Structure 1
Amino acid sequence: MRWKCICAYDGTEFDGWQRQAEGGAIQNVLEEVLSKIFNIPLKTHGSGRTDAGVHARGQCFHFDADWSHNSGKLIRALHANLPKSIRIESAQQVSDDFHARHSAVGKRYSYRFYLGRAHPLEERYVWACRDTPINFIAMQDAAARLVGKHDFSAYGATHGKDSDPNPVKNIHRLDLVKKGKHIIMTTEGSGYLYRMVRSFAGALYSVGRNRLTPEDISKILETKVRTHRIVTAPGTGLCLEKVFY
């Protein structure tokens, strides 16, 4: 019996999603709790990893186990054992050919900037930047240049043997909204290279500070080569919002 679960988490205190030999990752915690509930060793399979400090509202994972009760009871059992920083939004039985990673057709991420010293209740969830004038129109121009099907090698990062062998991704959406001192970046695409969304955020921030121009963003994309001019934004502002199937 295969179960598909959607979970949300505050990633601040975790070493990312992917299980670690020494523990400390969200996957470690979920597998420990599931193994306790079912009284057998269980492994989970996520839609993809998130780095340390990165958050999620809609991470998806699946696992295989027989459960004679309804999904509500499973969620209650999980919540009784999980830390409050991890919440199970839904759980449902799916066919055995469903795979949280391989069945995914796209993802949505958000990234939040704050111009100035962040409020104590927000600082875990934003990139607190310098409170100086920012060229928001140029940031929007630059964002539009990254939409479409491209080789995004210049905006990804290598990750050893786990690196994505296909750097060509289709970005359907990359927009920015400014509300006072908050800037929210939202992107949807067929998939993302390692640290690609954070690289988008870092590059667009550099444009806003006039360190890069919108034209530079296009030129760097065309080179297909990672450069020191592309800054990787901190993980704190990033959130995996939804995985599409």
Structure 2
Amino acid sequence: MKATSERTRWRAVCAYDGTNFAGWQSQAGGNAIQDVIEKALGKVLKTPVRIHGSGRTDAGVHALAQVFHFDAAWSHGAEKLRAALRVELPAAIQIAALRRAKPTFHARFDAKGKIYEYHVCLGEADPFTRLFVWPVFRALDLAAMQTAARRLTGRHDFRAFTALNGPEREDTVRDLRRLEVARRGRRIKITAEADGFLYKMVRSLAGTLVAVGEGKLTPAQVTGLLAGGVRTAAVPTAPGKGLFLRRVLYR
């Protein structure tokens, strides 16, 4: 398959099982989702291609609809390009949608928000879901978790709920538009929507809500942690395997 000389901006949506990958962002060892997709594009287009994602996901974290863009010359249409990538990509990564975009589109800077889901299993998970949930072996107080979630919702400084470190003072104010806790059978789903998320913020929120459910923290203590603005050992980080990037929001 040959590429044309005219370069086009492409917008893609991909889904991936992050279990065996080093996260989204390119790594020296080449085992990140970005590295694998760029390698596949390079084979199809016969030239190196750099892709730009809507944001990063950590090692072991999954995505249902990660968005990225790239510039490339290709004259055979979006579906043929997607079909060619299907051959080159491992089964754990799927290009769910692909189309031409405006030359000014940027997957990261045009995003207006993201929706994440975190999945908890009460007790041992079955072999088919164990890689995609956090098994918790204590009873959880759902009402307390929901109360704490309401106290975290809104525009706040979430420095206490991020793993950011270093001397620089990054803006840690985010608008957490939605933080919901719902149970169905032995499964608890935590849904978080915001204008943006800090490093490990969703996993920190999920870990904190589970701690509330276990009785290790009260909703009032969570309010105090938020107001304190300092990350402490009281804020646990949930395992990456239960987290999914559900959707990236654009205008």
* Structure 1 residue aligned with 2:9: 2
Structure 1 position 108 matched with structure 2 position 124: no
Instruction: Quickly say closer, same or farther: Cα 1:160–1:9, change in 2 above 3 A.
Output: farther
* Structure 2 residue aligned with 1:221: 226
For the residue of structure 2 that corresponds to 1:41, the secondary structure is coil
Correspondence for 1:138 among 144, 154, 158: 144
Give TM-score scaled by structure 2 length. Answer: 0.94
Q: Is the Cα contact below 8 Å between 1:159 and 1:194 reproduced in 2?
A: no
Deviations along 1:29-49, whole A, 9 cap, x unmatched?
A: 000000111111111100111
* Structure 2 residue aligned with 1:207: 212
Whole-angstrom CA distance in 2 between matches of 1:35 and 1:46:
17
Structure 1 position 13 matched with structure 2 position 20: yes
Deviations along 1:60-112, whole A, 9 cap, x unmatched?
A: 01100011111111110110110000001111111121111111110000000
Correspondence for 2:196 among 191, 196, 203: 191
Whole-angstrom CA distance in 2 between matches of 1:226 and 1:61:
31
Q: Aligned letter for 1:174?
A: L
Give TM-score scaled by structure 1 length. Answer: 0.97
Q: Is there any run of 5+ residues in structure 2 with no aligned partner, and where?
A: 1-7
Q: CA deviation at 1:133?
A: 2.2
Correspondence for 2:240 among 225, 235, 238: 235
Whole-angstrom CA distance in 1 between matches of 2:170 and 2:48:
31
How do 1:10-49 residues align onto structure 2 when only pairs under 5 Å count? Answer: 10-49=17-56
Whole-angstrom CA distance in 2 between matches of 1:91 and 1:115:
37
Instruction: Quickly say closer, same or farther: Cα 1:49–1:169, change in 2 above 3 A.
Output: same
Instruction: Quickly say closer, same or farther: Cα 1:187–1:212, change in 2 above 3 A.
Output: same
- Provide the identity percentage: 48
Shift >4 Å, 4+ stretches: none
Q: Aligned letter for 1:180?
A: G
For the residue of structure 2 that corresponds to 1:104, the secondary structure is coil
Q: CA deviation at 1:159?
A: 5.5
Report how many aligned residue pairs link the two structures.
Answer: 243
Q: Is the Cα contact below 8 Å between 1:164 and 1:193 reproduced in 2?
A: no
Deviations along 1:105-148, whole A, 9 cap, x unmatched?
A: 10000000001111010001000111x32211000000011110
* Structure 2 residue aligned with 1:76: 83
Whole-angstrom CA distance in 1 between matches of 2:165 and 2:69:
24
Correspondence for 1:154 among 133, 152, 160: 160
Q: Aligned letter for 1:209?
A: E
Instruction: Quickly say closer, same or farther: Cα 1:164–1:109, change in 2 above 3 A.
Output: farther
For the residue of structure 2 that corresponds to 1:13, the secondary structure is coil
Q: Is the Cα contact below 8 Å between 1:164 and 1:194 reproduced in 2?
A: no
Whole-angstrom CA distance in 2 between matches of 1:44 and 1:143:
35
Whole-angstrom CA distance in 2 between matches of 1:192 and 1:33:
29
Q: Aligned letter for 1:198?
A: R
Whole-angstrom CA distance in 2 between matches of 1:46 and 1:165:
20
* Structure 1 residue aligned with 2:58: 51
Instruction: Quickly say closer, same or farther: Cα 1:238–1:45, change in 2 above 3 A.
Output: same
Structure 1 position 89 matched with structure 2 position 96: yes
Whole-angstrom CA distance in 2 between matches of 1:196 and 1:78:
32
* Structure 2 residue aligned with 1:122: 129
Whole-angstrom CA distance in 2 between matches of 1:18 and 1:30:
11
Whole-angstrom CA distance in 1 between matches of 2:165 and 2:25:
13
